[in-house]
Amino acid sequence: MLHIRDAVLSDLPSILKIYNYAVKNLAASFDIEEKTLVERWRWFNKHRGKYPLIVAELNGRVVGYCCLSSFRDKAAYSHAAELSIYVAPGYWGRGIGTQLMQEILRRAEKLRYHTIVAGITADNQTSIRLHRKFGFELVGCFKEVGFKFGRWHDVHFYQLFVEAT
């Protein structure tokens, strides 16, 4: 049975493995080089309170994670957050992303965010479908802003309002 819960420090090696797979194999991340455990530890420590980090655990194994991060550093952006979601290869297509998304959006509402944004590479149709399923709308596109795997990638920006105005 899949269990969605807050991430703990002992999850970090699994989170790192999932992320580094994306770095090496997917345009879902524009990092070019794999992250180290120390680098991800710094990232992990930014996700508390207002910026939740959750994991999907299946049979004692972390198979996905999702987080909210600061959208921008300026104070006027404090009611907006950026969403990231990753599922381990071998676990795609099992509804794990859906369950992570449900929980992170529930938390976003509880934290009283006004809007959530996500930057998704144009050819990541799986992620686009997941975000649209939850009501995210395409609000813009930055063309050819990332160069990875020998080609340029567009980034589509999706947005969801989570708090009634």
Sorted by where each starts, the structural domains of the chain and their CATH numbers stand as 2-161 (3.40.630.30)
pLDDT at 48: 87
Q: Tell me the C-alpha distance between 147 and 27, whole Å.
A: 9
DSSP-assigned letter for residue 10: G
Q: Which residues, 6 or more positions from 133, have their beta carbon under 8 angstroms from its beta carbon?
A: 98, 101
Which residue numbers in the chain have pLDDT < 70?
Answer: 163-165
The per-residue pLDDT of the chain, averaged, comes to 96
CB atoms within 10 A of CB 99: 17
pTM: 0.95
pLDDT at 95: 96
CA distances from 77 to 74, 91, 115 (A): 6, 34, 10
